[in-house]
Structure 1
């Protein structure tokens, strides 16, 4: 029976494998579950969260979209709200344990809940939310592969309106695992070591589009320089995803969405981006990896991909490029 005792290496199994109903869970749930699996476990100690987030330059409101349509029983997780304030005004930074616990309590989540997170893009912001839960030790958490569009494409029901009220829980304040977060100071120190020469250097992997990494394209945030950190490698998060389309009943236009690639596809994308030697070192735990992006959101996709491939030493640079490039004195490189 496929249940939460699955290890992170079980990504090699087909993700849309039909399974029997999971009526009990171990301490470690799979990182990714399929729509079929979610339908079979709904209502059995499962808390479903919509963590949809849009880029700042996209005129869409994820909470309004949630009210218009969501998976039955789901709660909205505003990643910009369940966050800590930042001295540079950055959004969706990792929350304190108190803020995280308060949200979980209001959402009716307990430490034993299996939290399943989705977004309306397919795979975009949900991995960041999953990273947050795992960083606070809530290992009974997964993302829904393909998100809301895949749920609908596979026959899952949806509902509209405000979710019904549920009793709040007293979620204990957890402790953040500091080993999986990197600060600006740690990144600056790391850029002093060429990973070709220094085995202590962590490999920084950048999820932004390649044009922003090379400096050929501008950042979406006005006035912010594009480019990359010294020795960082480019791994656009889209290269880790497969694209799909489906046409809802009565609709004239198809809906596009993404799912995480197969294990083989993830390996191929990683090796192409960083080279076979670095890929092997990261996956064997011989070298740590740090996922970065524009503001710490799609870095979660790299984190998820590396964890699915079995990497243990994976951290996330919370501020990512925005925090790095905003600071005077940061070394910015252009080109390949």
Structure 2
């Protein structure tokens, strides 16, 4: 595994410089759409993508879940097999991940790589739309066959993932023992006023959690043509302001200083990684992610659900 961590975020110009000598670099399109969206990520990838990139199917590179949930964290063997057989990645490959939203699903892919110790990995801030908007070209058509490498099954950092049982236990704790839980869903879903996008699933939140919609860590941009919007990360100081607003300045300081561990959650474990990455940009290292998130929690009949106005 690479001994030095790559920057968490890179810009299109950074990537363009690296692609002048593309050997040892793997570029991954990790675009994912909500199940009810009338779009197909793989088809869009074939029609427009960054040169040399491969498609990372976050639903396909996942371990089975007892509730049938998608894009769950793979086990080490599944991750290693996907890296070698589908993506041509070896342990020392420089990995750059993007999506076609700007910032949406790419942080989830980065979380996966980092959780397995592949720290030579980054997200392209602004993704494919920013890449094109800054004058770099996209390509289409057939893909080059990735070169197979060697990738022994790595060990997952167990501190990065939280289970349902851990979440139930955490919600019953108080004081220093409680891990702060940040919920990345929209505020209306958190309070229970708005419905969940998954039919039949109750809205609301896990007792003791805080609402921090993931888009509060992002800036909405318009391209130069004015016909497309995309997202990029806010500056660290602006991310800190959003965190202060969500949990209060005292708890936010405890999080940033490492005195208080934090967990991120969302609807299905996807945008929880946006919060995870935003906190990483603040230098926070004690960040876990509730992998199955609200869908897994609310599907279980014994779960305690709070609603508020």
TM-score normalised to the size of structure 1?
Answer: 0.89
CA distance in 2, matches of 1:128, 1:105: 20
Output the aligned Cα RMSD: 1.1
* Cα drift, residue 169 of structure 1: 1.2
Match of 2:285 in 1: 312
After the TM superposition, which residues 290-329 of structure 1 pair with which residues of structure 2 at under 5 Å, given as runs?
290-329=263-302
* Cα drift, residue 44 of structure 1: 4.2
In the alignment, structure 1 segments of 5+ residues that lack a partner are 1-24
Aligned length: 305
Match of 2:155 in 1: 175
Q: Which runs of 4+ in 1 moved over 6 A?
A: none
Match of 2:259 in 1: 286
The equivalent position to 1:113 in structure 2, one of 77, 83, 93, is: 93
The equivalent position to 1:89 in structure 2, one of 38, 61, 68, is: 68
Q: Aligned pair 1:238/2:207, yes or no?
A: no
Q: Aligned pair 1:184/2:164, yes or no?
A: yes
CA distance in 2, matches of 1:269, 1:167: 43
State the secondary structure of the residue aligned to 2:260: coil
Q: Deviations over 1:128-164 (max 9, x none)?
A: 0000000000000000000000000111111002311
Match of 1:156 in 2: 136
Q: Deviations over 1:102-122 (max 9, x none)?
A: 111121111111100000000
After the TM superposition, which residues 125-274 of structure 1 pair with which residues of structure 2 at under 5 Å, given as runs?
125-194=105-174, 198-248=175-225, 254-274=227-247
In the alignment, structure 2 segments of 5+ residues that lack a partner are none
Residues 26 and 137 (structure 1), Cα distance of their counterparts in 2 relative to 1, 3 Å cut: closer
The equivalent position to 2:28 in structure 1, one of 49, 68, 76, is: 49
CA distance in 2, matches of 1:246, 1:301: 22
CA distance in 2, matches of 1:110, 1:265: 36
Q: Aligned pair 1:77/2:50, yes or no?
A: no
TM-score normalised to the size of structure 2?
Answer: 0.97
CA distance in 2, matches of 1:302, 1:202: 15
